[in-house]
């Protein structure tokens, strides 16, 4: 689905707030677009960039909905897990952390009640796909557009632009002062 990969260091023992932004690797194959320019193309591009995910998480945290992107990231990792025991452990973790009615970081999706704990004993890589798609669409059509107008995005864009101007100025200085 996406060219980015998620490192399998997401531990079932770590609470969502301890998942590191380094758990997401960036792909560099986006036709020259970088940073905020790439993030503003689409949510897919944003999620394909480690710094983009970091800033989006920061924004979602301010809106008390960081669990959405954390759930999405963990589902991406889950789909790539091949060992059945690890798959079972991760399924239980995802269910307990994001889908259980007892969870403090529960995501708001339809159909979570159709996933029963008995299903967790026989997991398959796509068992959370419909729920992950719901969260992706929620982020895409709700949070993402607000993120692009947020102070967090605008500040990143300004910093990026001022860094680019500085680079151009340094390059011009070297050319004309030699």
SS (H, E, C) the chain: CCCCCECCCCCCCCCHHHCCHHHECCCCCCCCCCHHHHHCCCHHHHHCCHHHHHHHHHHHHHCCCHHHHHHHHHHHHHHCCCCHHHHHHHHHHHHHHHHCCCCCCCCCCCCHHHCCHHHHHCCCCCCCHHHHHHHHHHHHHHHHHHHHCCHHHHHHHHHHHHHHHHHHHHHHHHHHCC
* Per-residue pLDDT tens over the stretch 101-157: 889 999 988 876 567 777 888 999 999 999 999 999 999 999 999 999 999 999 999
Domains of the chain, each with CATH number or no CATH:
16-176 (1.10.167.10)
* Per-residue pLDDT tens over the stretch 26-54: 444 445 567 899 999 999 999 999 999 99
pLDDT level of residue 62 (50, 70, 90 thresholds): very high
């Amino acid at each position: 689905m996406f060219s980015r990969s998620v490192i399998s260091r997401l531990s079932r023992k770590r609470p969502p707030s301890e998942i590191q932004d380094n758990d997401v690797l960036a792909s560099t194959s986006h036709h020259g677009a970088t940073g905020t320019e790439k993030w503003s193309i689409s949510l897919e591009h944003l999620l394909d960039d480690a710094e983009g995910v970091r800033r989006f998480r920061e924004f979602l945290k301010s809106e008390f909905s960081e669990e959405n992107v954390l759930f999405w990231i963990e589902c991406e990792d889950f789909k790539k897990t091949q060992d059945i025991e690890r798959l079972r452990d991760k399924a239980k973790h995802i269910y307990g952390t994001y889908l259980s009615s007892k969870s403090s970081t529960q995501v708001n999706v339809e159909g979570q009640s159709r996933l029963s704990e008995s299903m967790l004993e026989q997991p398959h890589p796509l068992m959370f796909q419909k729920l992950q798609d719901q969260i992706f669409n929620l982020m895409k059509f709700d949070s993402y557009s607000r993120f692009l107008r947020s102070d967090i995005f605008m500040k990143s864009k300004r910093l990026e632009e001022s860094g680019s101007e500085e680079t151009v100025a340094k390059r011009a200085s070297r050319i004309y002062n030699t």
